[in-house]
């Protein structure tokens, strides 16, 4: 009898332990589903900051332009590209693009003597509209008259439009693709104009200019934007037929490894913008400039890593989508970077900055691959206004 009772007690204890274990596993699974982000969609890159392997992509050239991917490394002069390649020990992906040329960046403020160097607003306006303007002006000529931006031109052709940046979304470079304002510093007003313009996809920083600003909150709703603020929401987002505004930081997305990373945002934008009528997408490596202003080489190189990753992804995508023109350039040079002759990786450091964090008038590189890319680089030296003119030309030619 005692033996039977002992067996029964043992079975009860085993059942109890199993139930507790099962309950704990269920509890862990429930907790995991709340605290762990959902698995990213398979089409998104793995988020890891590293130098991407050098690859020369073969994009079809002799086809009409359906899509344009314009990639701007803010402040990315030729010397920081050289320094990045010394530290990496190999070429950057952007250096393997099919065609290249050199670009002048001076603004109207430089030519009329009121300023020494261009700023990002005047340069973005030149690249977007094809016209020189005054520093701090966005989408306006020197007299304050509105100029047609590249997003407005693309919209007139019934194309989709998109903007990806690490800075505040209404910062100078993305704003220059859309907005019209006499001061780049009017971030709240500029963001409202960008929202009201109906850009299909905008991904970056600057959530501070939505929450607590009723006019901007109202504009988001009035223009039927889906507004998201987390990497998890971006990973699972798949509404290609609806407009998306994703602002993932209160201010600037300063760290190159902050999620979602630049190549992740680029990948999602491309997925959402793809359509039969084509698109224009601007992707900015915003914080190359930020850390050059601080003469911080280590952080600048991290930003170069992140930007070249995004270039690599865009070229992979374009190789699979004939009719895509990919342009990689800079709005200006920052920091007066000078890499010593025969430099080794350790020689690429803070001492390479020579302009006390200021912009310079150094010409910048332009690389192009894909549809009609050769035509943009047929001259050894072009002006930043030529970029806007060429984008309009190839889009117009493709629709004749």
pTM over 0.85? The answer is yes
* Segments of the chain with pLDDT less than 70: 1-42
- Give the list of residues 6+ apart from residue 279 with CB closer than 8 angstroms, or none: 67, 68, 154, 159, 160, 161, 162, 200, 273
Element holding 61 (H helix, E strand) = none
10 Å CB burial of residue 269 (0-12, 13-18, 19+) is buried
pLDDT at 367: 98
Instruction: Give the CATH number of domain 66-398.
Output: 3.40.720.10
Residue 9 burial by Cβ neighbours in a 10 Å radius (0-12, 13-18, 19+): exposed
In this predicted structure, what is the pLDDT of residue 13?
Answer: 38
Residue 4's pLDDT is 39
Between strands 364-370 and 324-329, the pairing is: antiparallel
pLDDT, position 374: 98
295 catalytically annotated:
no
Domain positions in the chain are 66-398
Q: What is the pLDDT of residue 152?
A: 98
Choosing from 84, 107, 109, 120, which is the catalytic residue?
A: 120
Q: Nearest to residue 373, comparing CAs of 358, 393, 354, 359?
A: 393
């Amino acid at each position: 009898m005692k033996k039977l009772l002992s067996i029964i007690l043992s079975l009860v204890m085993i059942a109890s332990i199993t139930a507790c274990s099962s309950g704990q596993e269920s509890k862990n699974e429930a907790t995991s589903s709340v605290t762990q982000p959902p698995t990213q969609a398979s089409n998104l890159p793995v988020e890891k900051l590293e130098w991407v392997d050098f690859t020369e992509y073969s994009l079809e050239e002799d086809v009409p332009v359906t899509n344009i991917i314009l990639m701007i490394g803010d402040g990315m002069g030729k010397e920081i590209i050289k320094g990045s390649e010394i530290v990496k020990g190999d070429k950057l992906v952007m250096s393997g693009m099919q065609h290249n040329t050199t670009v002048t960046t001076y603004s109207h403020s430089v030519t009329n003597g009121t300023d020494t160097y261009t700023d990002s607003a005047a340069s973005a306006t030149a690249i977007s509209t094809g016209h020189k303007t005054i520093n701090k002006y966005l989408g306006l000529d020197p007299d304050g008259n509105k100029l047609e931006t590249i997003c407005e031109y693309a919209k007139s052709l019934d194309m989709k439009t998109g903007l990806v940046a690490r800075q505040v979304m209404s910062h100078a470079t993305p704003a220059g693709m859309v907005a019209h304002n006499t001061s780049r510093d009017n971030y709240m007003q500029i963001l409202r104009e960008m929202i009201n313009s109906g850009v299909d996809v905008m991904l970056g920083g600057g959530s501070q200019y939505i929450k607590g600003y009723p006019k901007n909150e109202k504009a988001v709703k009035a223009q039927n934007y889906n507004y998201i603020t987390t990497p998890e929401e971006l990973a699972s987002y798949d509404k290609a037929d609806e407009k998306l505004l994703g602002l993932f930081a209160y201010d600037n997305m300063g760290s190159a490894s902050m999620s979602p990373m630049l190549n992740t945002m680029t990948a999602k934008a491309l997925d959402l913008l793809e359509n039969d009528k084509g698109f224009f997408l601007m992707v900015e490596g915003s914080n190359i400039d930020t850390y050059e202003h601080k003469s911080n080489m280590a952080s600048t190189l991290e930003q170069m890593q992140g930007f070249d990753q995004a270039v690599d992804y865009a070229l992979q995508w374009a190789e699979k989508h004939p009719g895509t023109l990919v342009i990689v350039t800079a709005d200006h040079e920052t920091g007066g970077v000078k890499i010593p002759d025969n430099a080794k990786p350790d020689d690429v450091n803070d001492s390479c900055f020579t302009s006390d964090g200021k912009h310079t008038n150094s010409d910048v590189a332009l690389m192009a691959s894909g549809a009609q890319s050769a035509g943009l680089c047929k001259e050894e030296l072009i002006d930043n206004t030529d970029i806007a003119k060429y984008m309009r030309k190839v889009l117009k030619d493709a629709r004749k």
